């Protein structure tokens, strides 16, 4: 350290405490970066890398950004997954003795952004802490912009990862005792910034932990709160007590299923458009949009709570005019949650508080509208709306209608709010009026019409006379102040006196306005809990009116819930596909599964609509359990505890897993965790491996689900040999998606009917895809050749054992072939899996059956 200048030594001492962040070191009007920070930041931000003398033999790399435009640069670094520590000057440079005192006032991280392009209006911005104890894991997730904090315990690592994925966390906080393999899995899955926070003392956060009963959730929440306070370095009064929830209180939809069903984003574009959230989101407030996403992520299991939401939706649907007026009034309500967060954080400005005032002004209108609607639950919502009348009055009396953005330049506070401020304003205004009158008098007395009184920050007020008119001035009338190329500037003792009065009044006025604004902000802080409760009620009203509007415009019906696991969907539709295409062209379908009909085995050609049919059943179940009407003519549904899907194929390239491995992992997750109250969607399981392996696996899964789980299951397959299973498995029913052949071309009818499909139309689909005619012709020839030689296997069940057996045909004379014997002797039977052994035996037998030459 001794080799560097005192300022660079100060920089290095501060940097040592923030090694994982870019240190923005304030020097005058710039934030400077040195050493490695400068080299890396210059590349990321595309700014010039320079150097400076720091006392050492070698010059020190340096780059910097202007403090007034630093916000954009910081956002770019955060978007790239980095952290930024803001180090400010803590004393006036003119009064400093030696090196100016500096300290870090805030660390901005991907999970603690409060504003900027990375914050989406209708999405939460979560960071989470991850805790482990034995086989238990706890996740605590918080949104600093709104103050929400939720926590839960999970009994497997994968379940906890699914929950982190549901939150869409930007940053994960852990201690340094985690296993390296687990940390790698977390990195591979999320790509989120991982931050280490060791301190976890509970006594500092007793009020925020009051609702927690599990020791592990307390530990996770404390680590999270510690990290937020350590990095933000201020009182975070908007942080709410952590809420502990039980995962079993909500329908469990794992990460894969949410992706496959495209609940909040599409698989291809990763965007909102084309997802269920996109279809449903007709909310009028940002906070309502965030609540809608939370509801989609966690459908309810409690039938009473579901029916309460459905009842309010029904009431809103029956009150069209009031609902439309309600929608218009909600447009005028700003984001109360994030406004409260900005108040607590200290970065709220006068315009934000005017938005808060306008929002509170809408609450009485919302209450009156809801009171006009019949329905006990709607009336209860109306009663929960707190207009915060005292706060509205305070803001109304304090702030002008259109204040400036800056809070340090005055012009925010209304006249009459503070007597001292009124005196300063009066002095400033009267002084300026005196200046205007003086200018008029001097023009008359001197006869110089172009004479004017001006002002600048260096010389203050002055009388300006052009050189052409200098001869008209009496000697000694003015005191010369400044000479310019084409004019002279003068002052008078009286003008100096008024200047002092005006400038003092202006300075004191601006200083007092800022003090009054800071006091106002502190008073608003006292209302933060009430504002947060109000925000939750307004959000709920917004989401439920949105459900009503969607249900009415899209012709949805209210679902009814069965107690015996019956599922009857008449003319069900995929809501998103129906919206994207012409609704008149969409073909609706029934899905009937009684207490003794647990599995539909679905066959039919590719592109016929099997996947759409399966997805629409799942989406109807999810819509019902979030409290929305569903796209069908009639819907009787069980309350599903979980939904598992395996639809589509995708390699997991990051972790090096093939399509087939991903398929097996997702299937395993469903089979291990499903219950008889679950819904399983399996689309063409086994297609990623050889025909016999795939067929054997598909049948084994069907049997296991049928016998051991008895979950409602939609299982599509191209293995037509499996369609005989309905003869031996009593809860399995064959259905197929119909298609017709016209003039050698396939026409998809998209209608689901009972029974198995008679053919797959694979070559027809290839033809529709535009493969060259020569390929299509050759494929058709090969198909006829294969079909003429094929011996179709039949499936025999003996108890729970199923296997394939060749049809009984005349046995050909076996040829004697020493190579077959040598092959047989070369196999290590004990190292083979049953499937490998079966395939090997089949190949040897086929070879032996070939006629001798």
Extract the annotated binding site for ATP. 604-611
Query: How is 663-724 classified by DSSP, letter by letter?
Result: HHHHHHHHHHH--TT-EEEEESTTTTS-HHHHHHHHHHHHHHIIIII--EEEEE-S-GGGGG
Handedness of CA 470, 475, 478, 483 (dihedral sign): positive
With residue 45 as reference, give the H or E element that holds it: helix 35-45
> How far, in Å, are 2, 676, 677 from residue 642 at the CA level?
64, 10, 7
637 neighbors 624 (Cβ within 8 angstroms) = yes
Q: How far apart are CA 692 and CA 263, in angstroms?
A: 34
Query: How far apart (Å, rounded) are the C-alpha atoms in residues 114 and 146?
Result: 9
Alpha carbon separation from 408 to 404, 414, 458, 512 (Å, rounded)? 10, 15, 21, 10
| Annotation: binding site | 604-611
User: Which parts of 281-418 fold into alpha helices (H)?
Assistant: 286-297, 303-317, 320-330, 336-345, 350-371, 376-384, 389-398
Residue 639 CB partners (closer than 8 Å, separation 6+): 301, 303, 306, 561, 625, 677
The residue among 505, 520, 534, 525 whose CA lies nearest residue 397 is 520
- Is the distance from CB of 538 to CB of 334 less than 8 angstroms? no
Q: Which two tokens stand for residue 211?
A: 């609702």
**Residue 369: burial class (beta carbons within 10 Å; 0-12, 13-18, 19+):** buried
Alpha helices in 554-607 (DSSP H): 575-580
CB 42 within 8 A of CB 48: yes
CA distance 432 to 414: 20
Per-residue tokens: 714: 């939609």
Q: Which residues in 801-817 are b (16+ Cβ under 10 Å) and which e?
A: ebeeeeeeeeeeeeeee
What single DSSP character describes residue 469? G
- 334, with CB counted inside 10 A (0-12, 13-18, 19+), is buried
Nearest C-alpha neighbor of 547 from the set 362, 755, 371, 308:
308
CA 371 – CA 380 distance, rounded (Å): 9
Largest CA distance in the chain: 138
Tell the residue number behind the tokens 């190949």, with chain if given.
843
* Integer Cα distance of 64 and 41 in angstroms: 9
Torsion on CA atoms 719, 723, 729, 734, rounded to nearest 10: 120
Residue 140's contacts (CB-CB under 8 Å, 6 or more residues apart) are 128, 129, 131, 149, 150, 151, 217, 220, 221, 223, 224, 242
Beta bridge partners of 679: 643, 712
Q: Environment class of residue 238 by beta-carbon count within 10 Å: exposed (0-12), middle (13-18) or buried (19+)?
A: buried
Rg (CA), the chain: 37
């Amino acid at each position: 350290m001794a080799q560097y200048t005192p300022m660079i030594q100060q920089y290095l001492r501060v940097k040592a405490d923030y090694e994982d962040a870019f240190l923005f070191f304030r020097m005058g009007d710039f934030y400077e970066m040195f050493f490695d920070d400068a080299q890396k930041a210059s590349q990321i931000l595309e700014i010039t890398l320079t150097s400076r003398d720091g006392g050492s033999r070698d010059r020190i790399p340096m780059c910097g950004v202007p403090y007034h435009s630093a916000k954009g640069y910081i956002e770019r670094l955060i978007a790239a997954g980095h952290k930024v520590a803001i180090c400010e000057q803590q004393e006036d440079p003119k009064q400093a003795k030696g090196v100016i005192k500096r300290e870090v006032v805030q660390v901005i991280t991907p999970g603690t952004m409060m504003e900027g392009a990375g914050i989406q209006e209708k999405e939460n911005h979560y960071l989470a802490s991850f805790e482990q104890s034995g086989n238990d894991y706890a996740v605590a997730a918080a949104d600093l912009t709104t103050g929400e904090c939720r926590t839960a315990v999970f009994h497997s690592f994968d379940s906890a990862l699914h929950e982190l994925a549901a939150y869409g966390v930007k940053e994960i906080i852990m201690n340094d005792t985690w296993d390296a393999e687990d940390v790698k899995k977390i990195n591979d899955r999320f790509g989120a910034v991982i931050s280490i926070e060791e301190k976890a003392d509970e006594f500092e956060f007793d009020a925020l932990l009051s609702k927690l009963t599990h020791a592990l959730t307390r530990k996770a929440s404390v680590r999270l709160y510690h990290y937020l306070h350590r990095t933000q370095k201020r009182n975070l009064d908007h942080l709410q007590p952590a809420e502990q929830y039980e995962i079993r209180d909500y329908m469990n939809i794992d990460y894969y299923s949410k992706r496959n069903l495209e609940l909040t984003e599409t698989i291809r574009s990763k965007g909102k458009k084309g997802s269920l959230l996109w279809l449903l989101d007709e909310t009028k407030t940002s906070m309502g949009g965030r609540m809608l996403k939370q509801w989609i992520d966690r459908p309810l299991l409690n039938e009473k709570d579901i029916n309460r939401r459905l009842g309010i939706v029904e009431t809103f649907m029956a009150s069209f005019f009031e609902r439309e007026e309600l929608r218009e009034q909600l447009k005028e309500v700003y984001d109360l949650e994030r406004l409260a967060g900005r108040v607590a954080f200290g970065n709220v400005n006068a315009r934000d508080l005017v938005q808060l005032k306008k929002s509170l002004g809408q609450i009485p209108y919302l209450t009156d509208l809801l009171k006009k609607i019949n329905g006990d639950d709607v009336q209860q919502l109306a009663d929960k709306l707190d207009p915060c009348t005292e706060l509205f009055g305070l803001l109304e009396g304090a702030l002008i209608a259109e204040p400036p953005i800056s809070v340090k330049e005055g012009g925010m506070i209304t006249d009459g709010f503070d007597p001292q401020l009124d005196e300063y304003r009066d002095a400033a205004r009267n002084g300026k009026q005196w200046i205007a009158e003086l200018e008029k008098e001097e023009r008359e007395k001197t006869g110089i019409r172009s004479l004017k009184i001006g002002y600048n920050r260096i010389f203050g007020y002055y009388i300006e006379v052009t050189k052409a008119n200098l001869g008209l001035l009496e000697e000694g009338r003015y005191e010369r102040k400044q000479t310019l190329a084409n004019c002279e500037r003068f002052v008078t003792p009286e003008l100096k006196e008024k200047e002092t009065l005006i400038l003092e009044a202006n300075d004191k006025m601006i200083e007092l306005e800022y003090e009054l604004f800071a006091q106002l902000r502190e008073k608003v802080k006292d209302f933060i809990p009430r504002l947060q409760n109000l925000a939750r009620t307004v959000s709920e009203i917004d989401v439920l009116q949105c459900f009503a509007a969607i249900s009415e415009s899209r012709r949805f019906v209210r679902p009814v819930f069965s107690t015996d696991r019956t599922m009857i969907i008449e003319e069900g539709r995929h809501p998103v596909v129906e919206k994207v295409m012409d609704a008149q062209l969409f073909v609706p379908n029934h899905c009937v599964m009684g207490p003794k009909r647990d599995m539909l085995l679905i066959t039919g050609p590719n592109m016929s609509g099997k996947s759409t049919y399966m997805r629409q059943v799942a989406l109807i179940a999810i819509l019902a359990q979030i409290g929305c009407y569903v796209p069908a003519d009639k819907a009787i549904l069980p309350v599903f505890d979980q939904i598992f899907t395996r639809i589509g194929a995708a390699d997991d390239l990051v972790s090096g897993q093939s399509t087939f491995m991903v398929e097996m992992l997702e299937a395993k997750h469903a089979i291990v965790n499903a219950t008889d109250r679950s819904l399983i969607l399996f689309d063409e399981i086994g297609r990623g491996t050889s025909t016999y392996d795939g067929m054997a696996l598909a049948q084994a899964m069907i049997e296991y689900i049928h016998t051991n789980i008895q979950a409602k299951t939609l299982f599509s397959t191209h293995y037509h040999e499996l369609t005989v299973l309905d003869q031996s498995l009593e809860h399995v029913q064959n259905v197929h998606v119909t298609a017709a052949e016209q003039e050698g071309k396939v026409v998809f009818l998209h209608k689901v009917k009972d029974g198995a499909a008679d053919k797959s139309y694979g070559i027809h689909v290839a033809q529709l895809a535009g493969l060259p005619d020569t390929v299509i012709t050759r494929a058709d020839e090969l198909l006829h050749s294969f079909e003429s030689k094929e011996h179709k296997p039949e499936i025999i069940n003996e108890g729970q054992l199923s296997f394939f057996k060749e049809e009984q045909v005349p046995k050909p004379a076996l040829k004697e072939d020493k190579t077959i014997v040598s092959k047989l002797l070369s196999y290590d039977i004990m190292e083979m899996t049953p499937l490998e052994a079966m395939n090997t035996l089949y190949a040897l037998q086929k070879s032996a059956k070939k006629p001798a030459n």
